[in-house]
Amino acid sequence: MVRKPLRTLLLGFLTVSMLVAAPAPAQSATLAGKAAISFAGSSTLHQFKGVADPVGFTPAENTTGQWSAYVEVPVASLKTGNGWRDDNMQGMLQADRYPMVRAVFAGTDPQALRAHLTLPFSLTIRDVTHPATAELRNWVESDKHLEFDAEFSVSLKEYGLEAPSALFVRVDDEVAVTVHVTLDRT
């Protein structure tokens, strides 16, 4: 008679041990992101604007709630609406050798983003990578949706790029970039 309660106790202990040791079920919700990119610059004659095709990305969320993401923007998708300018930009960026501009976001804390409205990341243009920080604006948040604008400047010289020029027209060194980011929890 002693064996049955002991066996029941052992089975109960094993069952509880297996449940505790079992990996936690994967979250059913995932994050899906989209980045709509625009840029603006100026030259000795005028200012210009451009856009890139929107790109999707999938942020990964770790167990502490921090996000990481890897975003690639095809250089060929950068357009200003002026074929001559676009050809010069593609040449400056060496699109044939370096077809992507890359941004890497690591260990991003959504609460820190909200509190400080800055987003650190690393930006790679051609074969040069530098840390960057975007200022966040137009923050809109709900339970399953987040959107904001991330604004930062890129110095062409810092990335080893020579600004395009023709005769007396020269593109300035600084290019302003705005990225409209949307994130949805599905």
pLDDT digits 0-9 by tens, 55-67? 999 999 888 889 9
- Residue that the structure tokens 């509880």 belong to: 16
CATH 2.40.128.110 given to domain 26-185: yes
What band does 29 get if pLDDT is binned at 50, 70 and 90? low
pLDDT of 3 higher than 60: no
Inform me whether the pLDDT recorded for 151 exceeds 60.
yes
Tell whether pTM > 0.95: no
Q: Which two tokens stand for residue 114?
A: 């909200």
Distance, CA of 167 to CA of 156 (rounded, Å): 19
Over residues 82-109, mean pLDDT: 94
- The kind and range of the H/E element at 111 are helix 110-116
- Per DSSP, what are the bridge partners of residue 125? 128
